Structure 1
């Protein structure tokens, strides 16, 4: 628990601080440039257009694609806003332009934890301050509605988007991984020894059984907790050199997990 506590002190200011708001400097197609400190690749947010002093709307999703700490410049990848799923409501067709506002890490004060057992879950949530924790029972109920006893990356995106959850913590291989819950991009990792106890699949929850769909990806029961999440993290962060080195150190340079990376040594 002490290691998690130390980790939270180091990473709290960057990941759990107030949302970062800054105007777009330039826009070229699906990319926009901004200037702001403490950004990390993979952080998500959205683009806001202000029509006057009292009226504004979200017009696009945004994800930090590149950062340059030397001048605090960053490149955002812009995509269609999918935070409002109500098709009966009208929506405008606006393309982001300079002077529109980028808001990054808007919901990083809300987080979901994927842990192998209840004691590990309690240890994590009690040691990281100033977070509104969304109980995994709620996520398990969502998965049951989707028919996915094996959670997909798209399930994390959809659930976190619908519930304004910014951060996802996954405990695996004596490491606490911190990801953006919408993009599944790794933001940080730190040593963290889980509490003793058997690993529950697909994660710790009081929900006795997650309903399975008749067919399709995610409809089968998850066989083993740790390998699945390690693989999903690798597949969705295949160019992350630090993650590659972490896996190589933990599992040897012959681990099958390393095959998921696009790293040239």
Structure 2
């Protein structure tokens, strides 16, 4: 088993050295018996050096490229392949400049062609950049295995190019992973779970109007997400927290309501798939982080004060150092109390910045 483990590392390292466009590293943990704690356990090898965990590496700007879980002698062996370049790169500002016909949310299946280590093509055109799906391998006994995620990087009238990235929707650290990679002839299901969604809305009216407008979608109530934020002490969730929650709940899309516009976003790529106008009873003040009946989402007292500084640094960019009104100066107290109602400008800027569309 030791020989097999070392051989696996050598194969991974050889493949990664050929990818000069991005820095990569491999961190691992051998014979680990506590799957629930593996992500916070210090890892060996690479940039981890026995000092950093997987979660630490993510905080330091690394991104997961692949994970392998193998059966070891006395437990499980975990091998994390990490890169300093985003696995999914999307420019929403550029996407919004393109004119598309209305998005069809229905899933469809098609075989992938011209497969390489990271890319493939499909004979379907006019897709959105950032539109995603899951790649399935079919066995002779009609059983299937999900082997990867994939998203559209380019599309013309007749065909589209896809890029693979890890499938982590059903993350289970206690079960060994498959070594199978996508091959020509595998099937991609595009628009996977696009009809299951989360709403980020500034008010109850905006929330209700969105559900009424998109009756064919199954919306997970924002109260459930808010309850999680409250339990973890996160009053203003960053992009990564929203994205991770949506994926963990098997939600394919997130609906962001900013002023009178709905932005439909792919949960896995955070690409804007569609936008539309919505009418509702507009009010000046907005709920942060979004409309919910859960009260007092308070900051965890054990969380670093640096997070507070980051949030107020964001506010300073909007208001300047000394030009905030008295109401705006009271935001600090409102955040501390977990009762955050803000001017519409603050809510709008927060989510426009998150989506990369702030002008």
Identify the TM-score tier after normalising by the shorter chain: 0.7 to 0.9
Residue 178 to residue 206, structure 1, CA distance change in 2 (3 Å):
same
Q: Are 1:207 and 2:294 an aligned pair? A: yes
**2-structure distance, mates of 1:211, 1:52:** 53
| Paired positions, count | 223
Which residue of structure 2 aligns with residue 252 of structure 1?
none
C-alpha contact (below 8 Å) 1:20/1:36 kept by paired residues: no
TM-score by length of 1: 0.77
**1-structure distance, mates of 2:266, 2:150:** 12
Instruction: Give the Å deviation of 1:217.
Output: 4.8
Which residue of structure 2 aligns with residue 227 of structure 1?
349
**2-structure distance, mates of 1:227, 1:190:** 19
Instruction: Give the Å deviation of 1:196.
Output: 2.6
Instruction: Give the Å deviation of 1:38.
Output: 5.5
TM-score by length of 2: 0.58
**1-structure distance, mates of 2:218, 2:129:** 23
Selected match of 2:225 from 139, 142, 150 = 139
C-alpha contact (below 8 Å) 1:41/1:65 kept by paired residues: yes
Q: Which stretch has the larger CA shift, 75-84 or 207-216? A: 207-216
Computed over aligned residues only, the root mean square deviation of the Cα atoms, in angstroms, reads 2.1
Give the secondary-structure state (helix, strand or coil) at the position aligned to 1:26. coil
Which residue of structure 2 aligns with residue 183 of structure 1?
269
Which residue of structure 1 aligns with residue 316 of structure 2?
none
Instruction: Give the Å deviation of 1:142.
Output: 2.5
CA deviation map 1:216-265 (0-9, x unaligned):
6589547631110011111xxxxxxxx6xxxxxxxxxxxxx33xxxxxxx
CA deviation map 1:78-136 (0-9, x unaligned):
01211122111121111211011111112011111111100111111112221111111
Q: Are 1:156 and 2:242 an aligned pair? A: yes
Give the secondary-structure state (helix, strand or coil) at the position aligned to 1:75. strand
Mark the structure with the bigger radius of gyration: 2
Higher relative contact order (CA 8 A, sep 6+): 1
Q: Are 1:93 and 2:179 an aligned pair? A: yes
CA deviation map 1:132-175 (0-9, x unaligned):
11111111122234432112211222112111111111111321
Q: Which stretch has the larger CA shift, 138-147 or 224-233? A: 138-147
Residue 217 to residue 79, structure 1, CA distance change in 2 (3 Å):
farther
Which residue of structure 2 aligns with residue 109 of structure 1?
195
C-alpha contact (below 8 Å) 1:147/1:210 kept by paired residues: yes
C-alpha contact (below 8 Å) 2:210/2:278 kept by paired residues: no
Give the secondary-structure state (helix, strand or coil) at the position aligned to 2:110. strand
**2-structure distance, mates of 1:129, 1:179:** 17
Which residue of structure 1 aligns with residue 209 of structure 2?
123
**2-structure distance, mates of 1:146, 1:32:** 39
Which residue of structure 2 aligns with residue 7 of structure 1?
none
Structure 2: gaps (5+ residues): 1-100, 312-334
Which residue of structure 2 aligns with residue 57 of structure 1?
145
Residue 56 to residue 202, structure 1, CA distance change in 2 (3 Å):
same
C-alpha contact (below 8 Å) 1:24/1:101 kept by paired residues: yes
**2-structure distance, mates of 1:61, 1:89:** 19
